């Protein structure tokens, strides 16, 4: 009893065609006309309205015109008696979510939803106005209520390959907790590490190492001075190294004095200088060794203190989230990275007020690598998600990587990765309109690729066309496990089935929605409940029995 204004015309066309055929058999001489009729019948399938017109025009004009036999009013009108109704108004009828006269479609949908294997996505076909979207929404709400809520998904910095952020899963609701825990960890590190590395105990330990090293270097320098003096030289430490200056008659020679010396004196000086030079080089080598050893000792001291702080602060996170092997491995990487970059925490604290007012470019982002991007948050979900995407653009469906512009360049990082409908529906159901999909460029091809691979790739479609250099990311794709329901017409289905060889491999289930049903007492009662439900949903004034009967009669008139 749903709408369809095309059926009567179709019957009329069939009647005319039959009439034309009868006339032709009684007029065998019209062979040319017969050939014309057969040729018209062999034309390819056309749209319904065009086919109807071409059928009517194909009748030979020379055939005698016969008026159809008039029909009685009782033959074109099916009265609906109000006596069969046991209510006064629709207010007396309880609302129902029963789906009427769509048994085949319901069976197909149930089958598609129950098969948890790749490729068993569902194409729902039917003309507009048959309630496909409403039925699918109702079905999915029931199915999702009996399914577990999916986990959270997060993106983390990849310390070994920064351009490939890692996609990890945690229990539902744990994503936000882990994010807050990491934020608190970084906050604590930024406050406690500078305090520890500027404490009196640490400075005393550093001074002890430095003082010991300086004493050793002073002794070496003193020994070198004595050796130089024995060879009539003095040594002078400069920025370029150790300089040896000859001494004559108890006085150090300048370059001018040296140039005035005779050949014998200069030869004697250079001979003694050549004997001293290896000792000077050995001294320089030993000093470099002392400096290197001291630096290593100071680094070990700094790492030891940093290790104690990091271990103390990170231990609660390991205890809380260590059950996830990937998270435990990530926390170990964080610990090592903090140890290697302790000075970053100190330099920030020790910066001058001017430096803090005008930070070095990128300084504000140096701790971003410790952040957590909660990609899909299911903390408020208690069932499998049902996502109905009304605007399936490429980025709305498949996610995007946002960018900032700095000095003419697009810059981004893993914290700017945003989820699309395909990711939010993971573990549940995604409903799409077929016509909308084909209005948005490469969306269909990308949807097929993602459903084949069962991975939620995130790509920047504009990157290949960009005129500006970009710092591109290649995020690790999220593993997908979802059911896609595509709603469209029969025409779109047949085009896809015939022209796209991958379509039937991805959408293996088709649910056909009918646009009419048999008028009998049982179906009339179901129809009445449907009318009452719509009246309540639309918040209309209650319909009395005569109004309901009129709607039933109107539904009969439309088929």
Geometric angle at alpha carbon 494, from 488 and 495, rounded to 5°: 90
Element (H, E) at 418: strand 417-418
Q: Output phi, psi for 507, to 5 deg.
A: -115, 85
What are the boundaries of each domain within the chain? 7-69, 83-95+516-559, 102-150+381-513, 157-380
Q: What is the DSSP letter of 89?
A: B
Q: How far is 535 from 539, CA to CA, in rounded Å?
A: 6
| 170-209 per-position pLDDT tens digit | 999 999 999 999 999 999 999 999 988 888 888 899 999 9
373-376, strands of its sheet edge to edge? 166-170, 152-156, 373-376
Instruction: Quickly list DSSP for 249-273.
Output: TTEE--HHHHHHS-HHHHHHHHHHH
| 462 pLDDT above the threshold of 90 | no
| 351 pLDDT above the threshold of 90 | no
SS3 51: helix
User: For the CA atoms of 456, 462, 465, 470, what is the dihedral angle to 10 degrees?
Assistant: -90
- Percent of the chain with pLDDT strictly greater than 90: 43
Q: Which residue has the tokens 């074109």?
A: 76
Range of weakest confidence among 333-337, 399-403, 458-462:
458-462
**How would you classify the pairing of strands 483-488 and 122-125?**
parallel
Task: Give the largest Cα separation in the chain, rounded.
Answer: 150
Give me the helix-helix angle, 200-230 and 263-321, nearest 10°.
160
Q: How far is 321 from 177, CA to CA, in rounded Å?
A: 10
Q: How far is 423 from 116, CA to CA, in rounded Å?
A: 18
Q: What is the DSSP letter of 72?
A: P
Q: Which CATH number fits domain 102-150+381-513: 3.40.50.300, 3.30.479.10, 3.40.50.720, 3.40.50.2000?
A: 3.40.50.300
| 242-291 per-position pLDDT tens digit | 888 888 877 788 878 888 888 888 888 888 888 888 988 898 899 999 99
- Identify which has the larger pLDDT, 73 or 326: 326
pLDDT at 466: 58
Q: Classify residue 475 by burial, with Cβ atoms within 10 Å: 0-12, 13-18, 19+.
A: buried
Closest of 206, 244, 448 to residue 346, by C-alpha: 206
């Amino acid at each position: 009893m749903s709408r369809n204004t095309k059926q009567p015309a179709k019957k009329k066309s069939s009647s005319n065609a039959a009439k034309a055929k009868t006339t032709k058999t009684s007029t065998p001489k019209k062979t040319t006309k017969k050939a014309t009729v057969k040729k018209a019948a062999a034309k390819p399938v056309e749209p319904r309205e065009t086919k109807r017109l071409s059928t009517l025009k194909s009748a030979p004009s020379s055939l005698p015109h016969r008026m159809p036999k008039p029909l009685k009013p009782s033959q074109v009108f099916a009265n609906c008696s109000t006596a069969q109704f046991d209510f006064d108004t629709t207010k007396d009828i309880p609302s129902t979510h029963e789906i009427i006269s769509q048994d085949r479609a319901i069976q197909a949908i149930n089958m598609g939803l129950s098969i948890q294997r790749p490729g068993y996505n569902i194409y729902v076909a039917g003309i507009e106005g048959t309630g496909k979207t409403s039925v699918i929404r109702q079905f999915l709400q029931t199915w999702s209520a009996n399914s577990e809520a999916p986990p959270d998904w997060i993106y983390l910095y990849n310390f070994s390959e920064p351009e490939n952020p890692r996609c990890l899963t945690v229990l539902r609701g744990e994503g936000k907790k882990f994010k807050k825990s990491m934020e608190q960890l970084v906050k604590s590190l930024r406050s406690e590490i500078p305090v520890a590395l500027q404490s009196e105990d640490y400075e005393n330990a550093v001074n002890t190492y430095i003082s010991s090293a300086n004493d050793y270097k002073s002794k070496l320098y003193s020994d070198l001075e004595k050796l130089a003096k024995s060879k009539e030289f003095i040594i002078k430490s400069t920025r370029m190294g150790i300089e040896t200056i000859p001494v004559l008659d108890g006085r150090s020679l300048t370059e001018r004095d040296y140039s005035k010396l005779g050949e014998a004196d200069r030869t004697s000086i250079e001979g003694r200088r050549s004997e001293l030079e290896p000792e000077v080089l050995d001294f320089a080598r030993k000093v470099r060794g002392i400096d290197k050893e001291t630096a290593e000792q100071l680094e070990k001291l700094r790492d030891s203190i940093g290790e104690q702080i990091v271990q103390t602060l990170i231990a609660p996170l390991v205890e809380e989230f260590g059950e996830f092997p990937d998270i435990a491995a990530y926390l170990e990487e964080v610990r090592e990275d903090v140890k290697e970059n302790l000075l970053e925490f100190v330099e920030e604290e020790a910066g001058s007020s001017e430096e803090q007012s005008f930070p070095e470019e990128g300084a504000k982002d140096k701790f971003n690598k410790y952040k957590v991007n909660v990609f899909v948050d299911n903390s408020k979900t208690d069932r499998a998600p049902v996502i109905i995407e009304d605007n399936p653009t490429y980025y709305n469906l498949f996610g995007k990587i946002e960018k900032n512009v700095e000095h003419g360049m697009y810059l981004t990082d893993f914290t700017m990765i945003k989820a699309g409908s395909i990711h939010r529906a993971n573990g549940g159901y995604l409903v799409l309109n077929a016509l909308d999909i084909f209005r948005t460029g490469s969306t269909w091809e990308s949807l097929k690729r993602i459903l084949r691979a069962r991975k939620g790739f995130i790509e920047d479609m504009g990157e290949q066309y960009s005129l500006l250099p970009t710092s591109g990311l290649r995020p690790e794709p999220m593993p997908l496990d979802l059911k896609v329901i595509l709603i469209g017409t029969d025409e779109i289905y047949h085009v896809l089935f015939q022209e796209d060889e991958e379509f039937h491999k991805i959408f293996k289930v088709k649910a056909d929605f009918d646009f009419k049903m048999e008028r009998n007492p049982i179906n009339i009662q179901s129809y009445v409940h449907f009318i009452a439900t719509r009246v309540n949903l639309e918040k209309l004034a209650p319909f009395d029995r005569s109004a309901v009967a009129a709607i039933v009669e109107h539904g009969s008139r439309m088929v």
